[in-house]
Amino acid sequence: MAPPRTIVVGIGNIERGDDGAGRAVARLLRHMLPDSVRIVEQDGEATSLLTTLEGASAAYLIDACVSNAPPGTVHRIDANSAPLPQASSDLSTHGFGLAAAIELGRTLRQLPPRTVVYAIEAESFDAGAPLSESVVPATVIVADRIRSEIEETA
């Protein structure tokens, strides 16, 4: 049997302000996680995302979201137990991509047994802007929480 595989996917566009929050978390985790954890960055297109998850036993997906919570709010969603909140198109800037990938994965029984989504409430998607001040701490918090989860379930 192949060893369990853990994967972290940071989703977004680093050139669109807080849209890059998921990828910023992935970059932080590169310095925090053992080499055995695969860390990738993607734009969130559903089919590529699903292919990336293939064969993983645990997946942590991080994306920016808009749900009218204060900017920097961290949402943790256990994707194995339920679909992303409806209006998932509102939840994620790549709503179709991430939510569709998860539902397609569930239908095809290809979702990793442990699939966790961290969504960070965004403030601005301005082209070329850096992460907002309200979002930067959230990326550190999420990176830390993912590291803890991975250590606890190891």
Partner 1 sequence: MARKTIKVDYLNRVEGEGAFKVVVRDGAVKSAELRIFEPPRFYEAFLRGRSYMEASDITARICGICPVAYQMSAVHSMEKILGIRLSEPLRELRRLLYCGEWIESHVLHIFMLHAPDFLGYDSAIHMAKDHGDLVKKGLALKKIGNDILNLLGGREIHPINVRVGGFYRTPAKRELAPLAEKLKWARDAALETVRLVAKFDFPDNERDYEFVSLRHPNAYPFNEGRVVSSKGLDIAVEDYDQHFKEIHVEHSTALHSQIVGRGSYFVGPLARYSLNFDKLSPLAQQAAREAGLGKTCNNPFRSITVRAVEVVYACDEALRVIADYAEPDKPYIAAEPRAGIGCAATEAPRGLIYHHYELTADGSIKSARIVPPTAQNQSTIENDLTSFVAGWLDLPDTELQHRCEQAIRNYDPCISCSTHFLHLDMDRG
Binding residues (CB under 8 A) for partner 1: these are 42-43, 45-48, 50-51, 100, 103-104, 107-110
Q: How far is the CB of 153 from partner 1 (least distance, A)?
A: 27
Our CB check for partner 1 shows the closer of 50 and 146 to be 50
Q: How far is the CB of 117 from partner 1 (least distance, A)?
A: 17
Considering the complex, state which of residue 96 and residue 151 has its C-beta at the smaller distance from partner 1. 96
Q: Given the complex with partner 1, which of 117 and 143 has the nearer CB atom?
A: 117
- CA 80 to chain centroid, in Å, comes to 14
Distance CA 24, CA 12 (A): 9
Report which of 72, 30, 80 is spatially closest to residue 9, judged by C-alpha positions: 30
For the bound state, the minimum distance from the C-beta of residue 30 to partner 1, rounded and expressed in Å, comes to: 17
As a 3-state breakdown, the chain gives helix, strand, coil percent values, each rounded to 5, of: 35, 20, 40
For partner 1, the closer of residues 103 and 149 by Cβ is 103
CB 152 to partner 1: min, Å: 32
Measure the N-to-C terminal CA separation of the chain; round to a whole number of Å. Answer: 17
Q: What is the closest distance, in whole angstroms, from the C-beta atom of residue 110 to partner 1 in the complex?
A: 8
Cβ atoms of 101 and 51 within 8 Å: the answer is no
**Other Cβ atoms within 10 Å of 52 Cβ, number:** 17
Nearer to partner 1, 45 or 144 (CB): 45
